[in-house]
């Protein structure tokens, strides 16, 4: 039985590994496109990073990022790529839940749900203000 479990584990991991790589590739492509556009739009401007002022509202809210992306706003395209990147490990967790269900390992289904819940809490709780 132990052997069987091990084989399934490595199958799962192979799929997960490719999933992560595809996610990173998509994210990097989106960021690259946004980045080239960004240098055309803002390349000659003066940077402003010495003092922290936080990003404008339309660059930290998912809905407004999408609106700006369709206006070809380069900074919003980069943010979209960053969001895809943040989503890759989360996708891996969701995929793990499916895997553990298939293996009938309900202890780890619960454990994985806890991890997912903590991440969801960090993003949706408004902890960030």
Partner 1 sequence: MSVLVLTLIILLGAFLAGLIGSLTGLGGGVIIIPLLTLVLKVDIHYAIGASLVSVIATSSGSAAAYVKEGISNIRVGMFLEIATTVGAVIGAFIAVYAETNMIAVIFGLVLVLSAALSFKKHAEIIASKPNRLAALLKLNSSYPTAAGEINYTVQHVPGGFFMMMIAGVLSGLLGIGSGALKVLAMDNIMKLPFKVSTTTSNFMIGVTAAASAGVYFERGYIDPGLAMPVMLGVLAGAFAGSKILVKAQTKSLRVVFAIVITFLAIQMIYNGLNGKI
Residues within the interface to partner 1 (CB under 8 A): 6, 9-10, 12-14, 16-18, 20-21, 23-24, 27-28, 31-32, 34-35, 38-39, 42-47, 49-52, 54-56, 59-60, 74-76, 78-79, 81-83, 85-90, 92-93, 96, 105, 107-108, 111-112, 114-115, 118-119, 121-123, 127-129
What gap in Å lies between CA 12 and CA 6, rounded to an integer? 10
Residue among 42 and 98 whose Cβ is closer to partner 1? 42
Cα separation of 72 and 33, whole Å? 10
The alpha carbon dihedral of 56, 50, 72, 86 has a sign of negative
Nearer to partner 1, 66 or 121 (CB): 121
Q: How far is the CB of 13 from partner 1 (least distance, A)?
A: 4
Tell me the closest approach of the beta carbon of residue 101 to partner 1, in angstroms.
13
**Residue 70 and residue 16 in contact, taking contact as beta carbons nearer than 8 Å:** no
Structural contact between residues 106 and 122, judged by C-beta atoms closer than 8 angstroms? no
The least CB distance from residue 112 to partner 1, in Å, is: 6
Separation CA 19–CA 56 (nearest Å): 32
């Amino acid at each position: 039985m132990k052997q069987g479990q091990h084989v399934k584990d490595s199958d799962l991991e192979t799929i997960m590994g490719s999933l992560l790589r595809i996610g990173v590739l998509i994210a990097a492509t989106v960021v690259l496109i946004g980045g080239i556009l960004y240098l055309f739009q803002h390349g000659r401007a003066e940077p402003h990073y010495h003092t922290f002022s936080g990003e404008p509202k339309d660059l930290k809210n998912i809905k407004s990022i999408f609106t700006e992306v369709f206006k070809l706003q380069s900074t919003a395209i980069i943010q979209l790529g960053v969001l895809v990147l943040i989503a890759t490990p989360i996708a891996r967790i969701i995929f793990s839940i499916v895997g553990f269900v298939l293996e009938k390992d309900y202890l780890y289904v619960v454990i994985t749900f806890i991890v997912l819940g903590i991440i969801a809490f960090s993003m949706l709780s408004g902890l960030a203000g």
